[in-house]
Amino acid sequence: MDGMSHTYIPAGMASFAGACQFTLKSSIDCVGVGLHSGRRVQMALHPAAPDHGVVFRRADLGHDHLIRARYDMVADTRLATVLGDPADPALRVSTVEHVMAALAGCGIDNALIEVDGPELPVLDGSAAHLVFLIDCAGIAAQDAPRRTIEILRSVRVTEGDAFAELSPAGPHEDGLELAMSIEFAAEAIGAQALSLHLTPASFRQELSRARTFALAEDIDRLRAAGMARGGSLDNAVVVDAARVLNPGGLRMHDEFVRHKLLDAVGDLALAGGRLCARFTAHRSGHALNNRLLRTLMADKSAWRAGVQMPVLVAA
Ligand SMILES: [Zn+2]
């Protein structure tokens, strides 16, 4: 196994422009297949009003089938982050993490996501196509203060040697500091770690292109269980021990830990406001990320909701 590769990307001058909320300038849509269902699905991203948050609409079920993208609506985290309405079992939207990551990574607070099936399209397995869609639609500043969640006290959840933790940001830190490490027996992955300050620039450059990945040994088992039907080398990195099976190889040598951070950005975007915090995790995935938010929110002494007043933002 290789030694641990560790990269630190310092907080740059690029920060979220202004402290106001943002939405899309116009609507945009795309068509793709669901990673697990293999179903063809159409997805549209629409602008939304200030304080709307991100809401999904299952267009195939009717106009009023809405589900809020929030941590307490997460119904399943085994293979993806699945939103579900406890009052309506049919109302589920699966694999929301990459869309949530793209929106949060681009600094968008408010959007309505319309989808005509139970699972979002996997596209190329990363957030790159989603960022492209958002850029095509454009990003609009809104005259409303940004909602923030400030961490006052560290909260940590564990499972075996895996953990996820949110702790207070330093006095001069703004937004979210992320640090993730992973460790896999497969030599092609090995031990990897990455830290970065989340900004639209760092998200685009460092995380957005990192694809989801799977071990070859797991794929037959997933297929037998009716999962990964839409999965292929076009939308996932597949690893067999020391080999990456994709003909084009990796996009970055540490694409795996970058994707785990991309997933964490999406999962943490379900907090209900922009986290002002340090996120530190080892081998964390959707289940731990969601348990972390639930544990945090249940402890009212560990966080404080706030607003940042809008400032003049260049058009
Ligand atoms: Zn993912």
DSSP track, 56-84: EEEGGG-TT-EEE--GGGEEE-SSS-EEE
CA of 259 to the centre of ligand 1 (A): 6
Q: What is the DSSP letter of 234?
A: T
Taking the C-alpha atoms of residue 50 and residue 24, their distance in angstroms, rounded to an integer, is: 11
DSSP line for 166-200? EEEPPTT--SEEEEEEEE-SSTTT-EEEEEEE--H
- pTM (2 d.p.): 0.92
CA of 256 to the centre of ligand 1 (A): 10
**pLDDT band at 227; cut points 50, 70, 90:** confident
Q: What is the DSSP letter of 238?
A: E
CA of 301 to the centre of ligand 1 (A): 31
CA of 263 to the centre of ligand 1 (A): 5
In the predicted structure, residue 151 carries a pLDDT above the cut 90? yes
CA of 230 to the centre of ligand 1 (A): 14
Would you state the structure tokens that stand for residue 108, as one six-digit string? 């968008």
In the predicted structure, residue 210 carries a pLDDT above the cut 70? yes
CA of 212 to the centre of ligand 1 (A): 5
Nearby residues of 10 by Cβ (< 8 Å), 6 or more positions away: 197
In the predicted structure, residue 315 carries a pLDDT above the cut 80? no
Among 36, 98, 197, 286, the active-site one is: 286
Q: How far is CA 192 from CA 82, 165, 181, 310, in A?
A: 27, 18, 6, 38
CA of 110 to the centre of ligand 1 (A): 21
CA of 194 to the centre of ligand 1 (A): 16
pLDDT of 16 reads: 43
Taking the C-alpha atoms of residue 213 and residue 255, their distance in angstroms, rounded to an integer, is: 9
Average pLDDT in the 208-224 region?
Answer: 91
pLDDT of 311 reads: 53
**pLDDT band at 309; cut points 50, 70, 90:** low
Q: What is the DSSP letter of 303?
A: E
pLDDT of 57 reads: 97
Is residue 129 flagged as an active site residue? no
Mean residue pLDDT of the chain comes to 91
- State whether residue 136 is helix, strand or coil: helix
Average pLDDT in the 122-150 region?
Answer: 96
**pLDDT band at 310; cut points 50, 70, 90:** low
**pLDDT band at 54; cut points 50, 70, 90:** very high
pLDDT of 314 reads: 45
